[in-house]
A and B are shown apart, each in its own frame.
Chain A
Amino acid sequence: MFELQTLDMVLPFAILLLPLGGFVVLALFGEWIKRDKEDAGAGYLACATVIASFALAAWTTARLYGLVAGPAGLRFSQPYLGFEWMEVGSFRIPFSLLVDPLSSVMMLVVTGIGSLIHVYSLGYMAHDDDRPRFFSYLNLFTFFMLLLVLGGNLPLLFVGWEGVGLCSYLLIGFWYRKDSASAAGLKAFVVNRIGDAGLILGMIFIFHAFGSLDLVDIADNAGALAPERLWEWGPVTIACLLLFLGATGKSAQIPLHVWLPDAMEGPTPVSALIHAATMVTAGVYMVARLGPLYHQSETAMLVVAVTGATTALMAGTIAVVQNDIKRVLAYSTVSQLGFMFLAAGVGAFGVAIFHLYTHAFFKALLFLGSGSVIHAMSGEQDMQRMGGLRRKIPWTFGTFLVGTLAISGIPLFAGFYSKDEILAAALGTGHPVLFGIALFTALLTAAYMARLLFLTFFGEFRGGREAEHHVHESPWSMLAPLVLLAAGSVVAGYALFPMAHEGAVHHVRLPEVVQPAFRLPGQALHHLPWLPMVATASALVGILIAWYLYLSMPELRASLASALRPALRVFRAKYYFDHVYDAFVRRVVVGGSDTLLWTRVDAGLIDGAVNRAGTLTGAMAQTLRPVQTGFVRHYALLVLAGAVAIVSYLLWS
C-alpha cells in the first residue's frame, strides 16, 4: 500500500460532497431563493457545484494518472479510508471511496456530462416555477451517482444505486400534477425494486463467498475461485445472476426494461442525464466492476451477453415504429445498453465501458437536441407534426446531425469506434450469432435514427401554421452544451488518455485505461480489416432505407407497411411486455389476493385470530365485571379474607 497524501484523501470526498451541499442549500432555502420569479439563482448554484465537482474530478484523475505532482508512477485501486459506516462483529463496512482508472472515467462522465446538462437546464427550465426543486433533485442525483461510482464496497455502491433510483422517481414525476408522470415515476420505482432485491441477495452470496464486500478484495480474490463451467450452478454463478437481475432493472434490460420508455414523462434534461448518460449505465458499471467475478462463471457471462443482444435487437425494432421523438431515443438507449452488456458478456469489459463513455456523449446530445426541438415546438413531441425544422433551428439541427451520425456508427464519429470494437469482441470470442444480431441492430439503429432525423428536420412542416410561427431557436445556455457535446461525440472515439508510466507519458485508449480494474489480461484486439467496412456499410444501408422510405419515395412506405403488418403490430405493441405484466398483476396478484390471500388468509385467518382473541377477552371480562362493586368495604373484606386465608395456611399447613 502506498503512502496516502492528505490531498488524495480529501479530494474524492470533496468531489462527492459538493453536489450534496448544493442539494442541502437548495432544499432548505429553495423557497427563499425563488422569491423573485425571474431569478435564476438556484440554477446557478446547482451548476456551480457540479462544475466545481468536475474540476476536482479532473484534478484527481490527473494525479491518479501521474500527470501532475504527486507520488510518482501509476497508482491504481486505492481506497480512501474515511470512517466506519457500520461494524457488526467481523462484518465491517468502512466509508471508503475507491479511485482507480474505472471509477475515474465514470466520475468524469458523471460530472462532465452532468455539468453540461445542468447548464442546459438553466435555459430549458427557465419558464418553470419550480426550478429550485428541480435543481436540488439534479444535485442530489449527481451526489448519489458519484457515490455509486466512487463507493469502495458493495453496500456503498448500493446506497448510491438506491439514491439514484429515488432521484429518478422524483424527477420522472417532477410534473406531478400530470397523472401519467406520477404513474411513470411509480412504475420506474416498482420495477427497479424487483431488480434491487436481486442485488441485495447477490451481495449476500458474495459476502458468503469472500467474507468481504470490498470491491478491491473481490477483484483481487475472484481469480482464486474455481471457475464454474456452463450450466454449473455454483455460488459465483448464482451471485452473478442475482446481481445481473439488479443490473437489468437499473439498466433497462429484458425483462425489466419496461420502465425506461415511460420515464420520458420527466423533463428532457432528466432524460438526458439520468435515463441516457449516467444512471441507466450503472448496471454496466457494476457488471464491469465485478468483471473478475463474472469471468469465473461461464453461465453468467452467457446470460449477460444473450440478454444484451436480445434487448438491443428488440428495442431497436420497437424504436423503428415509435412516433414520439423522446420514445425513439428511449428505446435507442435500451438498445445501446444492450450493446454494452453484450460487450461485457463476451468478456470485453473495457469495450463495454468504452461504449458507455461514447454513448454518454452522443445520447446526451441527442436527448438535449430533442429537448431543444420540443422547446422550439412549444412542447410538441410527436414527430408527425414536425418536419422541415433544419432551416428554422440550424444550430439544433447541426448538433443533432452529429449525434445521429455518431450513434449510427459512421466513421470518424465516436459511436463507430466503440460499436466496431463490440462487434469485433463478439466475433473474436466465438459468438457469431450474437455478432449477427449486433450487426443487424447496428443497421436498425442507423435506420431509426435517420428516420427520426428526416421526420423532424426534413420535408415540409406538418404542425400547422400557428405552430410554425412559434418555432424559435433555443437560448445560448441550451446551445452551448449542445455544441460541446457534439464536439465530444466526434472526438470521444479516438481520444487518448495521457498516463505517466516510468517517467514517460503514454497516450492510451480508453479500453486499455480501465483494463487494470478487471484484473484480466488485456484482450488482443481482433483486427479484422473487413469488419469496419461491413459495420459502416450496414449503417449506410440503414440510413439509405430510411431515406427511401421517408424522403425519396414515401409512397413505398404504405406497401411495405402492409407487407410487414404482423411484425409491425408486434413492434407497436412493444412485444406485449406491458400486456403480459398487466395481465400477470391483474390475474395473479390482484386476483389471487381477492380470492385467496386477502379474503381468506388476511381477512379470514389473520384478522380472525386477532378478532377472536379480542372477543374472548371481552367475554371473560363481562362475566367477571360484577366483582367490582365500587364499595371500599367489599374490597377491604376481600383483603381481610385473603389475609386470614394466608395466615391460616401458614399456621395449619
Chain B
Amino acid sequence: MDHPAFVQHALLLSLVLFGLGTLGVFLRKNVITVLMCVELMLNGVNVAFVAFSRAAGTLDGQVLVFFVMVVAAAEAAVGLAIVIALHRTKDTLDLDAFSLMKG
C-alpha cells in the first residue's frame, strides 16, 4: 500500500493533464492539435485510473486503462482519416472553416 500523498500527487498530475487537454480542445484552432489535446485528456484519465488502482490494491483500474488505450488508438486512426477528408474538402485545417451544421 502506497502512501496517501502519492495518490494525491498522481491525481494532481491527472487533473493538470486533463485541464490542459480541455483547454487545448476549446482554444486551439488546428484540427490535429485538437485531436492531440483529446489524447492528452484521455491520458489524464489514465493516470487517475492507475493511481486509484494502486491505492485500492486491485487490478481493475489498470485493466480499464488498457481499454482506454485501445479505444484511443482507434479514435486516432478514425480521427486522422477524418482530418485528411477535411483537408481535401477545404484545403485548410482551421476548425472555424467548418460550420456546415449551422442552423
Contacts and interface: CB of A to CB of B under 8 A. Distances in A.
A637 B100 CA distance: 18
Contacts of B99: 629-631
Interface stretch (A139-147, A282-290, A620-628): A620-628
Contacts of B102: 628-630
B1 interface: no
Classify the interface of chain B: helix, strand, loop or mixed: loop
A632 interface: yes
Interface residues of B, number: 11
Interface string A598-642: 000000000000000000000000001111111111001100100
A79 to B, nearest CB: 68
Given A630-B101, A630-B102, A637 B26 contact: yes
B25 interface: yes
B4 interface: no
B35 to A, nearest CB: 11
Contacts of A624: 103
B95 A633 contact: yes
A636 B101 contact: no
A128 B100 CA distance: 66
Contacts of A636: 25-26
Contacts of B6: none
Interface in B61-103: 95-96, 98-103
B22 A640 contact: yes
Nearest to B31: A632
Contacts of B25: 633, 636
B96 A631 contact: yes
Nearest to B22: A640
Nearest to B102: A630
A636 B102 CA distance: 15
B100 A631 contact: no
A236 B36 CA distance: 86
A108 B70 CA distance: 84
Contacts of B22: 640
A630 B103 CA distance: 7
Nearest to A632: B95
A632 B25 CA distance: 10
A630 B26 contact: no
B27 to A, nearest CB: 9
A625 B95 CA distance: 21
A629 B102 CA distance: 5
Nearest to B28: A633
Contacts of B96: 631
A627 B95 contact: no
A626 B103 contact: yes
A636 B96 CA distance: 14
A629 B101 CA distance: 7
Interface string A36-54: 0000000000000000000
Nearest to B29: A633
A631 B97 CA distance: 9
A627 B103 contact: yes
A40 B48 CA distance: 93
Contact of A628 (B95, B98, B103): B103
Given A636-B25, A636-B26, A637-B26, A625 B98 contact: no
Give the 7 A-B residue pairs with the shortest CB-CB distance, closest first: A628-B103, A630-B102, A630-B99, A625-B103, A630-B101, A631-B99, A629-B102
Interface of B: 22, 25-26, 95-96, 98-103
Given A625-B103, A631-B96, 11 more contacts: A626-B103, A628-B103, A629-B99, A629-B103, A630-B98, A630-B99, A631-B95, A631-B98, A636-B25, A637-B26, A640-B22
17 contacts: A626-B103, A628-B102, A628-B103, A630-B99, A630-B101, A630-B102, A631-B95, A631-B96, A631-B98, A632-B95, A632-B98, A633-B25, A633-B26, A633-B95, A636-B26, A637-B26, A640-B22
